Amino acid sequence: MAKVHVDSWRETYRGLMSDVVLDDPALLSWRERFWAAALTDPKYNQNNIAVASYEVTIVGIAMSGPSLDDDAEPQIQLHVLYAYAAFHGSGVGTALLNEVIAATAPAALWVADPNPRAQAFYRKNGFVSDGTLKTGDGVNEVRMVRAT
């Protein structure tokens, strides 16, 4: 899961995020610690995690859970959704999204801006920008929400 996370960051965020961050040799171990905690630490008990595989290899990951935003409406947030670029357009992303958040459930997420492909994917799945912006890890992000 950590490898998919790191590889997908490198595929998706090259040019949006600092190469220093993306090429950091410690990035994989950092994500390994994150996923170990997400799968075992009780503080993540309310989260939903899903993986997509192809021929016994994990090719996509997703995680939702309680919102981390103080002004959150709705209260469910998509925290992670990544798939290898080779699987973009295959239905893997939609399947992962629907596995961690019901297809019609209200939810929120943060997406890199600009990231037109991801933003179009989320719009196709009922999300719209609420105009809230933030910058994290040197990446501009826009919040998208899906109402009931």
Q: What is the pLDDT of residue 30?
A: 97
Could you give the CA distance from residue 109 to residue 57 in angstroms, rounded to a whole number?
A: 26
3-state secondary structure of 19: helix
What crossing angle do the helices spanning 2-13 and 27-40 adopt, rounded to 10°? 130
At residue 19, the pLDDT reads 94
Say what the pLDDT of residue 74 is. 78
Amino acid at 31: R
pLDDT averaged over 10-residue windows placed end to end, the chain, 148 residues: 97 92 96 97 97 97 95 89 97 98 95 96 97 90 92
Could you tell me the domains of the chain?
2-146 (3.40.630.30)
| pLDDT of 73 | 80
- What is the pTM assigned to this prediction? 0.94
pLDDT at 136: 83
At 91 the pLDDT is 97
pLDDT value at residue 138? 81
